[in-house]
Structure 1
Amino acid sequence: MKKAISMMLATAMAATCLAGCGSAASSSAAASSEAASSEATSAATSEASTGEKTFENNELNIAVFEGGYGSEYWDEIIKRFEAAYPGVTVNMQISPKIGDIIRPQIVAGNVPDFISMNDNDSTGLISSMVKEHALMDLSDVFEEGGIDDDTPLKDQVIDGLLDSAKCSPYGDGKIYIAPFDASPMGLVYNKTLFEENGWETPVTWDDFFELGEKAKEKGIALFTYQGIYPGYLESMLWPALASATGIDNMKAIASYTPGSLSSDEALKVFQNMAKIGTDGYLMDGTVALNHTQSQTDMMMNKALFIPNGNWMEGEMADAPRADGFEFGLTCAPVLDDGETRYVMSSVEQFEIPANAKNPELAKEFLRFLYTEDSVKLFAEKANGIYALKKANEMVKGIVTDGVYNMNDIYQEGTFMVFGWDAMPDTSKVVIADSVFNVASDVMNGDMTAEQWRDGIEAAFKEIAASK
């Protein structure tokens, strides 16, 4: 699965991730990053007489998360990279559990040169590497032009992404995490079911619950989610809060600012989320289901909506579904008609560890991944779309109609990403426990919306006190 769990569970393991990494990548990581980059720049690269870029160290070791996109893209792009750079050899480890696999390797000092990780990986590896300053500054890569386009890479990436906490986790203007794909997230629904019943997708929360009453009359639940993986609810919660409290306030939330959720508008969002469960709009049994079970039930018309992204089509390609099922994707509801609607976007990531043995070749590989040839290959092999401004036009006719059409959600709402700032080193808070891991209690009515919101605020205050 592409999203085993959300960003919150990544943070949940942050405290345990690289305790032994201090010797390998923590205490000297910041200095090591600068030294490795500077030293490699002066010694590792040269221009051969043929004009082809060559490297002193031709071996690149990469670690790749294998999720819903599969491995075909990576197998092929490696072949093309090796062909474009004669003499270079790329050694790839690829697995759905890549974080758990490379963690002990990193602790032992066997650090990969390049990492491709799923968005907010469940192992907490990247969260911990951020916390321990164990990632290399990639700003120089984005200041340069691309391999096949002289435009600086920073200007080719979707606006606002590189400046977000997702890519610049320390808020210092430096880029430590490079974006891979950009997948719109929201509420997935069956377009055919809506057309057959003459239903419109809801804009406001009032519209949402009114539609829920109509669905009840036909024996259909309004909503389900990936019960034991509650982090999927981010597709709904963060854009709803952005609409209600303002997009600028999301920066305050991402930096654990006390009071950032104290407004009446924020509370209304939590109350509406809780109402789904307490007022009978949630599909029976949801909280005990995994992602494929709940997604299959939704595709069988047992529920109108499920929070997810456009990768769901590929992930559920072989799953049973209602006759004529057609994927649709719409925005989270807003409190009042006319408010800005937002599209939460999942952005998978590329990283180069601070202690990578071959950082310059890793940077060249990163630049190679942003070429048009690579973008089209990713669309062909993985049915995915890179986080580049021109990617949509590049992949039209290559990705499936379902994935391409789900990108129409950007016509409804404004692109946004959400990523937590680096947690203070001294903090012991597990933010997932307060935000999403309590979802079943909220949906069952064992925790009120006020208690949910106040619990997150309490966590923010504890984090602030540890700074």
Structure 2
Amino acid sequence: LSYAAPTTVANANNENYLKNQQLILENKALFMPNGTWVPDEMKDAVRADGFEWGFMALPAGESGDRYSYTFFEQVWIPKGAKNADIAKDFIAYLYSDDAIENFTQAGAIQPVKGLSKKLDGEKKLYYSIYDNGAKAVMGQFATTAPVEGVSISTAMFDTVNSVLSGDKTVDEWRARVKEASDKLRATLK
């Protein structure tokens, strides 16, 4: 991965991640995996002349299907909720025309087909990816019992920094992720 910026790993943390995002704005980096919040987060940052945001689904393999990973908000009513009927009314409200208008004014949308057409600019660019044929991938790590000294997040994400810096190979990274997964799989809840 010799094409990574020399400062990518050093800035891949909670204190300096904006420096990595700035590389995009200055046309010093070609791409970054990130989310729909980035244009707002970087709205006051200096940009290269002519800079425009872009967004694409992951390139297709031989199957031809393209995907974009998404997070999703959840809402639920506890089984023993005292005011379950009011909660059900509120959930129904979340998909009302009034709520849809409030969400779009805030630059977000609910999962309602075609709703991205109500957005404009960068928000439309990001949220219309599924209207343009990309398939959504949703999920998170499965819940497991704690295993002392094992963190799938550390194995997967922190170790990839060592791949970028050249301290570890892709095969070493894969082996670490597999080892952590194997240990955690035995404790799935």
- Aligned counterpart, 1:179: none
- 1:372 aligned to 74, 88, 97, which one? 97
Q: Does 1:317 align with 2:43?
A: yes
* C-alpha distance in 1 between matches for 2:85 and 2:159: 44
- How do 1:29-40 and structure 2 match up within 5 A? none
Task: Check 1:281–1:351 CA distance in 2 against 1; reply closer, same or farther (3 A cut).
Answer: farther
Q: Does 1:285 align with 2:7?
A: yes
| Deviation for aligned residue 1:363 | 3.3
- Give the structure with the higher percent strand: 1
Task: Check 1:303–1:355 CA distance in 2 against 1; reply closer, same or farther (3 A cut).
Answer: farther
SS state at 1:302 partner? coil
Q: Does 1:455 align with 2:179?
A: no
- How many residues align structurally? 182
- Aligned counterpart, 1:431: 152
Q: Does 1:401 align with 2:121?
A: yes
- How do 1:91-110 and structure 2 match up within 5 A? none
Task: Check 1:354–1:451 CA distance in 2 against 1; reply closer, same or farther (3 A cut).
Answer: farther
* C-alpha distance in 2 between matches for 1:361 and 1:445: 56
Q: Does 1:443 align with 2:161?
A: no
Task: Check 1:369–1:412 CA distance in 2 against 1; reply closer, same or farther (3 A cut).
Answer: closer
* C-alpha distance in 2 between matches for 1:354 and 1:287: 45
| Counterpart residue type for residue 113 of structure 2 | K
- Aligned counterpart, 2:138: 417
Instruction: After the TM superposition, list the runs of 4 or more consecutive aligned residues in structure 1 that deviate by more than 4 angstroms.
Output: 351-359
| Counterpart residue type for residue 386 of structure 1 | Q
- How do 1:292-307 and structure 2 match up within 5 A? 292-307=18-33
Percent identity for Structure 1 against Structure 2: 33
Give yes or no for contact 1:341–1:413 (8 Å, CA) kept in 2. yes
* C-alpha distance in 2 between matches for 1:344 and 1:437: 20
SS state at 1:366 partner? helix
- How do 1:28-177 and structure 2 match up within 5 A? none
TM-score where L is the length of structure 2? 0.81
**Which structure has the greater CA radius of gyration?**
1
* Structure 1: stretches of 5+ with no match in the other structure: 1-275
Give yes or no for contact 1:331–1:412 (8 Å, CA) kept in 2. no
Higher RCO, Cα 8 Å, sep 6+: 1
Give yes or no for contact 1:442–1:448 (8 Å, CA) kept in 2. yes
- Aligned counterpart, 1:147: none
Give yes or no for contact 2:116–2:128 (8 Å, CA) kept in 1. no
CA deviations on 1:10-47 (whole Å, 9 max, x unpaired) are xxxxxxxxxxxxxxxxxxxxxxxxxxxxxxxxxxxxxx
SS state at 1:375 partner? helix
* C-alpha distance in 2 between matches for 1:451 and 1:414: 30
CA deviations on 1:160-213 (whole Å, 9 max, x unpaired) are xxxxxxxxxxxxxxxxxxxxxxxxxxxxxxxxxxxxxxxxxxxxxxxxxxxxxx
Q: Does 1:340 align with 2:102?
A: no
| Deviation for aligned residue 1:283 | 1.3
Give yes or no for contact 1:379–1:385 (8 Å, CA) kept in 2. yes
Task: Check 1:320–1:354 CA distance in 2 against 1; reply closer, same or farther (3 A cut).
Answer: farther
SS state at 2:75 partner? strand
* C-alpha distance in 1 between matches for 2:160 and 2:58: 17
Give yes or no for contact 2:162–2:168 (8 Å, CA) kept in 1. yes
| Deviation for aligned residue 1:338 | 5.2
TM-score where L is the length of structure 1? 0.36
CA deviations on 1:365-385 (whole Å, 9 max, x unpaired) are 2221121210121111x1112
| Counterpart residue type for residue 116 of structure 2 | N
Give yes or no for contact 1:369–1:375 (8 Å, CA) kept in 2. yes
* C-alpha distance in 2 between matches for 1:441 and 1:308: 20
Q: CA RMSD in A?
A: 2.5
SS state at 2:181 partner? helix
SS state at 1:450 partner? helix
- Aligned counterpart, 1:267: none
- Give the structure with the higher percent helix: 1
SS state at 1:462 partner? helix
* Structure 2: stretches of 5+ with no match in the other structure: none
| Deviation for aligned residue 1:330 | 1.4
Task: Check 1:451–1:432 CA distance in 2 against 1; reply closer, same or farther (3 A cut).
Answer: same
